[in-house]
Amino acid sequence: MSKDNMKDSSAIHAPPTPECQEMEAAIEGIRKMFVDKVQHDHIVNNRQTPARRAAFIKQHGSAYGIFQVNNNLPAQYQVGIFKPGASYKAWLRYSSDTPHTLPDKNTTVGIGIKLFGVAGHKALEEDVNATTLDFILQNTQVFFAADAIEMCEFKAAALNGTLDEWLKTHPETARILAEMGSRTVKSVLTEPLWSCVPFKFGDYDYCKYKLAVQTVADPIRTVDINAPGYLGRDMQERLIQQEARLDFYVQLRNNPHKQSITSARSLWEEEEAVPVKVATLIIPQQNIMARGQADYGESLSYNIWRTLPEMAPVGSIAEARKVVYRSSAQVRRNVNGQTIGEPTEPRPSSAPVPPYNPSLEVPWPSGTVGDVIEDFQSFGEYEIRPGFYYTYGPLTISARDMMHSVWITKAQQDVAGVVDGMVIQYINEEGRPVPGEDGEVEHRVQILRILLEKIPAERIRFGLSMKSNSNDATLKITAYQRDKEDEKKNKLVADPVIVSQGNAVIYLEANKDEKIDLLTLKFTEETESFELDNFVVTYAAEKTTDYPLWQANKLYHYGDRVSWKNKNWQLISSANQGWEPGAPGSSHFWAEI
C-alpha cells in the first residue's frame, strides 16, 4: 500500500473516523474510505479523467497471454481450473499501487490475471454465471495488516494524519511497509509475485499462489529506475523482442499451527510449505502500446472472488477486498460510461486485417490513385528511440540521426487543420544548451528522417506545430531523392522550408522529372518541441527507383558486414521496428534507411 496514494487525497477534507471495532463494520469502513473518500476525491475534486481505480492505479501495461496447466499434475493439485493440459486465454494488467502521476521507483507492483472460458458458477454473487476467473498477486509475500479491523484503523489513521503515531504502536505493520517501500523493482516481468491472502483448494485444503519468471528477454538498454515510467517502458521493450514465460505455483498449507488462514500477515515459509509449479503463463511477443490495448486493460475489473467456489479466498482481508473492488469497479465504469459486467470473450490478440492487401507497387499514372493520407489515428502510442525506425503506412519514421526519442502519441494541443489526435512528437527534455567553460555554446544538431520506401512522391503536404525557446531556433525541412549507392549523393529536389515558431501547413513539390523519397527535419536544442500530422502524399507517375522493399511487420538487425546486393539481414523479431544503420556511434552509413 503506497503512503503517497493515501496522502494524495487526504488534504481535501478529513473524513470521520469509521467504526473499526467490529469486523463487518470495519469492512464497510474500508470500502467507504477507499471508494467514497479517496476514489471520489480523485474523480470529482481532482477531475480525474478517465476515472481510475481506488488502488493499484498506475498501469504499466496490459498484455494478452495463455494460461497453460501442466500436463503431468499430481492428483492432489487437480482442483478447480487445474486440470492436466487445460489451457485458457488470458489478459493481464501490471500496475503499481500509486497515483499514475507519481514515479515508479519503490512502489508496490502487482498483476491482475483474467482467464476466459472458465465454466462453472463463481463465488462473486453478481458474477455467478461469468465465464471469467481472476487472480491478483503482488510483490510481497504477506499483507501488512493482519485483518480487516487493523486495515480499517490503518486507513483511518492515514487519512486523518495520524499514521506515524499509529505505526509506532504497530511495529510489525511498520516493518512490512518499510520493506515494501524500499524494494527496487527492475522489471515487472522478472519480479516474483504472491497472492498474500490464502484460498480454499478443494474441500479440505488451503493454498497461496506464486508467480515467478521462467524466461524473458533481456532489456534493450540499462534500466533507469529514476525515470518516471521506467517499468512500463521496460515491459514494452522486453515483450516487443520475444515472448515471456512465467511459472505459476500453488503453495499448499501443511502446518496449520504456523500457517494461518485468518491473518493475512502470516508468512508461510517456502522451505516448509514448498510451492509446486502447476501452470505456465505464456505472454506472447507483442506491442503492448498497440491501439486500444492499454485502454482495454484499464477497462477490465479484477476481483479475487471471481473464482470457483472450491478456490474461494478466505479471511477478513479477502472479504474487504471483495466489497472494495466491486464498489470501485462500479464507480469507475459508471463515470467512464462503460458496461458493468464481465466480458464473455477476450479482446482479440491482434488488430483486424482487411480481406485483401492493397499494394503500392503498381506504377499508376499520377492522379489516378488519389492522395494517400496518414494521420496516425489507427496506431497506438509508441516510442522510436535513437537508432531505430518504425513504419506507418506509406511513411517510415527514422530516428537514425537523433540523440533523443520521438513519439507517436497524442498531440499536446490540437490545432484544427494542422495537428490533432495522434501525431509524430518531439520534446526536448534537456532544455536549452548551456555555455561551456570557454563561454561558447555547442549547438548539437539532430535530424529526423521520414522516408517513402516503396514509391517516391511528387508532392507531400503535412501539418507542423513548433515551439522554441530562442529566436535563433529553426527547423529546416528538406526533400531529397536518395542515391541508393552513396548517401552523400542524395539529390535536393525542392526548395527547403525553414520554420521558427508556430503552426503551419508544409507543402513540398518535387522539381519536374524528380521525385521525393526522403524528408529530413534538421534542428538543434533551441527547439523546444514540434509535432507533425496529417500527411498527404501524392505519388509519382512512375516508380523510378529500385529500393529494397521492407516487410512492415518484421524487425531487422544490421550485421557487421552487410551489403544490399546479397541482402544479408538477420530476422530477429516480428514487430515493425528496426535498428537503423548509421546510428550515432556506428561506423556504417547507408542511404537505404
Instruction: Kindly report, residue by residue over 255-273, the tens digit of the pLDDT.
Output: 999 999 999 999 999 999 9
Q: Cell numbers at residue 363, please? A: 506504377
Instruction: Kindly report, residue by residue over 476-488, the tens digit of the pLDDT.
Output: 999 999 998 898 8
Rounded distance between C-alpha atoms, residue 541 and residue 513, angstroms: 10
Contact (CB, 8 A) for 216 and 188: no
Contact (CB, 8 A) for 253 and 273: yes
Instruction: Kindly report, residue by residue over 143-161, the tens digit of the pLDDT.
Output: 999 999 999 999 999 999 9
State the pLDDT at residue 335.
87
**What residue segments make up the domains of the chain, in order of their start?**
3-336, 372-432+442-579
Q: Hunting for cell 497461496 — which residue is that?
A: 208
Angle at Cα 358 formed by Cα 353 and Cα 361, nearest 5°?
145
Instruction: Kindly report, residue by residue over 189-231, the tens digit of the pLDDT.
Output: 999 999 999 999 999 999 999 999 999 999 877 888 888 889 9
Contact (CB, 8 A) for 227 and 279: no
Q: Is pLDDT at 182 greater than 50 in this prediction? A: yes
State the pLDDT at residue 421.
85
Please give the residue that has the higher pLDDT: either 473 or 507. 507
State the pLDDT at residue 590.
27
* DSSP collapsed to 3 states, 165-218: HHHHCCHHHHHHHHHHHHCCCCCCCCCCEECCCCEEECCCEEEEEEEEEEECCC
**What are the backbone angles phi and psi of residue 64, rounded to the nearest 5°?**
-95, 155
CATH classification of 372-432+442-579, choosing from 2.60.120, 2.40.128, 1.10.3470, 2.30.110? 2.60.120
Mean pLDDT value across the chain: 82
Number of DSSP helices (H) and strands (E) in the chain, helices first? 9, 26
Contact (CB, 8 A) for 329 and 340: yes
- R_g of the chain, CA atoms, integer Å: 28
Q: Cell numbers at residue 182, please? A: 524500499
The conformation of residue 120, written as its DSSP 8-state character, comes to S
What's the fold here for domain 3-336?
Catalase HpII,  Chain A, domain 1 (2.40.180)
